[in-house]
Amino acid sequence: VPDEHRVLCRVTWVLWCGTERGNTSSLKARSVARFGHGAFPQGLRQMRASLRRADCLVEVHDLHIPLSGRNPVLQEVLGIRPHLLVLNKMDLADPRQQVLEQLRQQGCSHVVFTDCQRDSNVKKIVPLVAKLVSSSPRYHRAESTEYSIMVIGVPNVGKSSLINSLRRLHLKKGKATAVGGEPGVTRVVLTRIQVCETPLVYLVDTPGVLPPKLADMETGMKLALCGAIRDHLVGEDIMADYLLYVLNRQQQFGYMERYGLPEASDNIRHVLKYVAVTLGKMQKVKVLTGTGNVNMMMLNYSAAAYEFLRAFRAGHLGRLTLD
Ligand SMILES: Nc1nc2c(ncn2[C@@H]2O[C@H](COP(=O)(O)OP(=O)(O)OP(=O)(O)O)[C@@H](O)[C@H]2O)c(=O)[nH]1
């Protein structure tokens, strides 16, 4: 079996069983693996209830994966409201031109690319939302002058960062909602947060919700690389292997210079050796010998895999779009 197939098989198995130990009896563990902590089904139920009061849906997704992993359950719901797709983390990814075309074919005609850490393009959102809402029926809310927006998306794509960025730009106010590098930071559907004075705009942050069933194994891997699924559920070593496969396939060889490799390699253990040496990732290992125990320093491959993933997520391995 080719290496990448073995990697993908293990990922599917892990996603299926929910935990690395294959504890299939634990429904909670399975739902955490598939949907993120505390996000489903209670989160989805709460979102549905709040949806009645929303004038517009702002779907935030990671520009690393503009096509993969968008939640079809959410897309079903999207049909009834004006919809804006925000592709965030544009500082880290470089989408191909066809991606926009494919998104248009999927019915996403309003797309904004943002970097919520540097507030790039975030100013475009409120005017666009105002235009979309005013050109669509608001039924019982027709008289109201305020806009209510629901922010949705899979875990860790930057929904809370977007809300904080909007508040910084329009209200000169600080954080209203917690941000974190791990999926599942936002656990409950929060009360409305004001993000703009004129027009009066309120947002509702929601917990990240993953699709109930992932389309294929690669989608699962891509979501894991983007931090939508907790690393330990898939395994850092497997994720690092898939990342190396994608980097080589897209001829992004920045890792060679960063970690001092003389040439490109598709052997993850070989690459992680260089990562561990460059970053000094060593561990003490007790070796049993005939004359007593000896402590030896060995390369720490797990720590190296973790650092390799972190480098990708921080954009140090190049601007990469996984789709
Ligand atoms: N480089 C970069 N990082 C970003 C950007 N937006 C958000 N992040 C980072 O992405 C991580 C997740 O951001 P959050 O705003 O917590 O994402 P979320 O979608 O609210 O996450 P959940 O609460 O898990 O659903 C954090 O480490 C942010 O700092 C961006 O535009 N560029």
Rounded to the nearest integer, the mean pLDDT of the chain is 79
Q: Any idea of the CA torsion for 114, 37, 51, 136, to the nearest 10 degrees?
A: 20
Which range (45-59, 96-110, 269-283) has the least confidence? 45-59
Q: 14-72 pLDDT, tens per residue? A: 444 443 333 333 434 444 444 444 444 555 666 666 666 788 888 999 999 998 888 76
Q: Which residue has the tokens 């992993």?
A: 69
Cα(224)–Cα(30) distance, integer angstroms: 15
- Residue 309 predicted with pLDDT over 90: yes
Distances in whole angstroms, Cα of residue 286 to Cα of each of 224, 254, 281: 33, 35, 17
Cα(7)–Cα(168) distance, integer angstroms: 42
Please tell me the distance between residue 231's alpha carbon and the centre of ligand 1 in angstroms.
Answer: 16
Q: Report yes or no on whether pTM surpasses 0.90.
A: no
pLDDT at 177: 60
Burial degree of 248 (CB within 10 A; 0-12, 13-18, 19+): middle
Beta carbons of 139 and 46 less than 8 angstroms apart = no
Cα(318)–Cα(226) distance, integer angstroms: 14
Cα(99)–Cα(223) distance, integer angstroms: 17
pLDDT at 39: 44
Mutate to test the pocket of ligand 1, among 46, 151, 156, 309 (most ligand atoms within 8 A of CB): 156
Kindly give, in sequence order, each residue whose CB lies less than 8 Å from that of residue 61, ignoring residues fewer than 6 positions away.
69, 70, 85, 86, 87, 88, 153, 154, 157
Which tokens is 114 given? 């943002």
Cα(61)–Cα(157) distance, integer angstroms: 5
CB neighbours of residue 172 within 10 Å: 7
- Residue 313 predicted with pLDDT over 90: yes
Cα(220)–Cα(272) distance, integer angstroms: 22
Closest-lying ligand 1 atom to the alpha carbon of residue 90: 31
7 or 76, higher pLDDT: 76
For residue 38, say whether it is annotated as part of any ligand binding site. Answer: no
Beta carbons of 229 and 11 less than 8 angstroms apart = no
Closest-lying ligand 1 atom to the alpha carbon of residue 153: 19
- Residue 208 predicted with pLDDT over 80: no
Query: Three-state DSSP class for 114?
Result: strand
Q: Residues lining ligand 1, judged by CB closer than 6 Å?
A: 88-89, 91-92, 115-117, 153, 155-161, 179-181, 183-186, 207-208
For residue 221, say whether it is annotated as part of any ligand binding site. Answer: no
For residue 90, say whether it is annotated as part of any ligand binding site. Answer: yes
Cα(101)–Cα(109) distance, integer angstroms: 9
List, in sequence order, the alpha helices (H) in the chain: 3-17, 27-35, 42-51, 72-78, 97-105, 125-134, 159-171, 217-225, 231-234, 236-249, 254-259, 268-279, 301-313
Cα(138)–Cα(81) distance, integer angstroms: 9
Beta carbons of 141 and 52 less than 8 angstroms apart = no
Domains and CATH numbers, the chain: 4-30+235-313 (1.10.1580.10), 36-204 (3.40.50.300)
- Among protein residues, the one with the nearest Cα to ligand 1's atom 2 is 89
Report ipTM (2 d.p.). 0.97
pLDDT at 77: 64
pLDDT at 210: 73
Closest CA to 84 of 199, 162, 155, 191: 162
Closest-lying ligand 1 atom to the alpha carbon of residue 39: 25
Per the rule left: phi > 0, alpha: psi between -120 and 50, beta: everything else, 175 is beta
**Mean pLDDT of the 226-244 span:** 92
| Chain Cα centroid distance, residue 265 | 27
